[in-house]
Amino acid sequence: MQLKTIDLHSHILPDFDDGSQSVEMSLAMLRREAEQGVDVVCATSHYYAHHEGIDAFCTRRAEALERLSAAIRQTYPGVLVAPYLMLACSDSRHYCRICPNVYRFSGMPLSKEQRGMIHNRNERIPLSLIPDTVAFFGRVLERC
């Protein structure tokens, strides 16, 4: 089994919070991540309710993601850039009340027993589901 390295907390969105100051800086950060063997980078952002409303924050974050996504696609053809997608759809239900930009769906057919493996001890999904799941999300991204 091939292991992947994921950076789960990166302030990579350009000119957004206390991270990258520009698209160019974001691309440089991504290059450094790749040089260090990181396979997946998750863009994280701080939200301060006393600074701005959630709608303004979500709009600003979506615009920053689009600027970075366009630069990534132009610089690194073939690299997958995805919006917030949660495979199990479980935690995303908490965000739907406050943000219009949450996508809830599962790209894999899971039995009740398999769903029980998510957000549990020894969290996992069956490896046999990975190829179809990747193909599903690829098709979603191609068509959206």
- Exposed/middle/buried for 15, CB within 10 Å: 0-12, 13-18, 19+? middle
State the pLDDT at residue 62.
87
The answer to whether 83 and 65 are in contact (CB under 8 A) is yes
What pLDDT is attached to residue 93? Answer: 59
DSSP letter at 91 equals: G
Residues of the chain with pLDDT under 50: 86-88
| pTM score | 0.56
Question: What per-residue confidence (pLDDT) applies to 29?
Answer: 94
Q: Which residues pair with 103 in a beta bridge?
A: 85
| pLDDT value for 57 | 86
Beta-carbon neighbour count of residue 138 at 10 Å?
13
CB 82 within 8 A of CB 141: yes
pLDDT at 25: 94
Q: What is the DSSP string of 9-68?
A: EE--STTSSSS-SSHHHHHHHHHHHHHTT--EEEE-----TTTS-HHHHHHHHHHHHHHH
Containing 7, the helix (H) or strand (E) segment is strand 6-10
Structure confidence at residue 87 (pLDDT): 44
pLDDT at 120: 67
Contact call for residues 37 and 65 (beta carbons, < 8 A) = no
